[in-house]
Amino acid sequence: MSKIISGFSKLTKEEKIQWLAENYFNNTLDTVKIIKQYWNIDNDLQQLHDDFIENTISNFYMPLGVAPNFIINDRVYAVPMVVEESSVVAAASLVAKFWSTRGGFKTKVIGTTKIGQVHFMFAGNKIDLETYFNTNKTELFAATASITKNMEKRGGGILDIKLVDKTDKLANYYQLHITFETKDSMGANFINSCLEAIANEFRNDEIEIVMSILSNYVPECLVRAEVSCKIEELGGENPQKFAEKFYQAIKIAEIEPYRAVTHNKGIMNGVDAVVLATGNDFRAVEAGVHAYASRSGQYTSLSHCSIDDGIFKFWIELPLALGTVGGLTALHPMAKLSLEMLQKPSARTLMQVMAAAGLAQNFAALRALTTKGIQHGHMKMHLQNILNQLGATEEEKIEITNYFDKRTVSHSAVVTKFNQLRKPIISWVDFLNFDEVRAKLSTLKVDNAPVFGKMNSQQMIEHLSAVTQIANGNWKVDAFVSDDKMARRRPFLNTENELQMGFKASFLSEEPNDLKFTSIDAAIDDLINQIQVFVKVFTDDKNRIIVHPFFGELDFDYWKKFQVKHFTHHFKQFGLV
């Protein structure tokens, strides 16, 4: 089937999914099942989501979390955050609580002006253009009257229209630079509609309109957030040292673009999470913020710090063009709930909440970086994601989380610990418990099939007896184990690991030995006797050292450790443990 398709948008949702599954996925049934799992069971709600964009096939879920305890201008907020990164909400919550006892966040809106531009080309005399503009400026305002009427009732509208000469950058290029106040609306549609009306009014035979569009660079739509306290109130073992390192970290971000990008990304972890939760345009916010960070000609930190006269001060200034009415904020049920959680803020208040969230996130990151390191806290949070991927039970999560409470978290370390928990508990054979050994072995018959290996049941018993005779001094095996091999092999006997299936010492023949005794019972009697001799010879000579053909020189304790593993290995061979 061709992967090029015409009329895709005209297909039903079911047809779109089927076509995608058949053309781009290996397992059609699983693909369709996964896509439909994320449909909302409420058909009306699902239809609402389907209508947000084109060619909708399903919903892509992101977690909505809450960071409580934000005190912003003496008002308490629980801040909704939509984000997939595990440490963001926890970090914001911890920092919010930290500053809640130190005066909280102080914020203010510096400006709310937004920008739109009509870009055009004019090859004539500049003075003629200026005359034309000044003569018709009033008409440009009038051309938008029907559009701006309702906005003006709310105190917004067009603030000014300027003619800007850009011909030094591009031949014949001019623009109408228009400033707007959109109050609680983000205003994108409003601004663009006004721009198009202005462009239509302004155009003439000599003016070629190229395009009319708002700008997401809003350096005059600015908000500031700040926290401050006495240095000793920062807490910790050495608050002065912490403040100084924090200050240095900020200064590095101010002068080093490589650091500044990551530094500001951390700020946007907090900002974007609230932008998404409230149904605002995070792409527009991101573009405007990073452009603002580059306004000096070099990309630099959005946050700043001072430590003067014993006072630690940390602040941020961000351009944020937001809305609390219209657009997705009025359509998405969760966005409406988020705004209600924030006590139905105005756009100005929402700017301040987001700035505080960004500042909190930045403080958390810098505190981690300049103390324990960023991975310490981040990986602790990421631990839960790893455990979910591994399919850990709640009991396993609790045990593993407690285990890593004071240990460094890494993916490999978590997997290792998880595998240890999932590893079946080994029923080690107590070979010195003669009654238990006899009872288990007595259940065997000669024709019992082994789980692995070639020996029959009696050959296995006689093999255990023979190897025990090595330790007893009754079987001299011509074997040499170098110090190097012994140093590498013997530590295995101290572990909880088992002898692997297929393990075979080099001194043993490829085929099982011929039977020595006439019955299993006789073989068991001999084995019990050899174990008793084993105990006696080592008890009589406390310093006895006997060379094991694989592990090298072993004393009584090491021989017992080997015997436990060896007996367990062969008992498993016949399903006895």
Q: Which residues are catalytic?
A: 85, 265, 281, 378
- CA 223, CA 244: separation in Å to the nearest integer? 26
CA-only gyration radius of the chain, Å: 38
Cβ–Cβ under 8 Å, residues 71 and 106:
no
Q: Give the bridge partners for 311, in sequence order.
A: 230, 308
Cβ–Cβ under 8 Å, residues 216 and 261:
no
- CA 140, CA 194: separation in Å to the nearest integer? 10
For residue 85, give both structure tokens. 């990164």
Cβ–Cβ under 8 Å, residues 322 and 274:
no
The DSSP code for 179 is E
The DSSP code for 448 is P
Per DSSP, the residues of 485-524 read HHHHHGGGGGSSPPPPTT---TTS-SSPPPP-SSSHHHHH
The DSSP code for 105 is B
Cβ–Cβ under 8 Å, residues 328 and 49:
no
User: Of 417, 432, 455, whose CA–CA distance to 572 is shortest?
Assistant: 455
End-to-end CA distance of the chain: 56
- Parallel, antiparallel or unpaired: strands 75-82 and 106-109: unpaired
- CA 241, CA 509: separation in Å to the nearest integer? 69
| Cα four-point dihedral sign 509, 511, 512, 518 | negative
Question: How far lies 542's CA from each of 469, 528, 546, in Å?
Answer: 18, 22, 12
163 burial via Cβ count (<10 Å: 0-12, 13-18, 19+): middle
Residue 101's CB is within 10 A of a number of other CB atoms, namely 12
User: Of 119, 114, 116, whose CA–CA distance to 175 is shortest?
Assistant: 119
- CA 570, CA 557: separation in Å to the nearest integer? 20
Looking up tokens 């909280």 gives 104
| Cα four-point dihedral sign 205, 210, 215, 219 | negative
- Cβ within 8 Å of residue 213, ≥6 positions away: 116, 117, 119, 192, 195
- CA 62, CA 278: separation in Å to the nearest integer? 13
- Cβ within 8 Å of residue 82, ≥6 positions away: 62, 63, 64, 65, 273, 276, 277
The DSSP code for 555 is -
Cβ–Cβ under 8 Å, residues 74 and 103:
no
Distance of CA 46 to the CA centre of its chain: 28
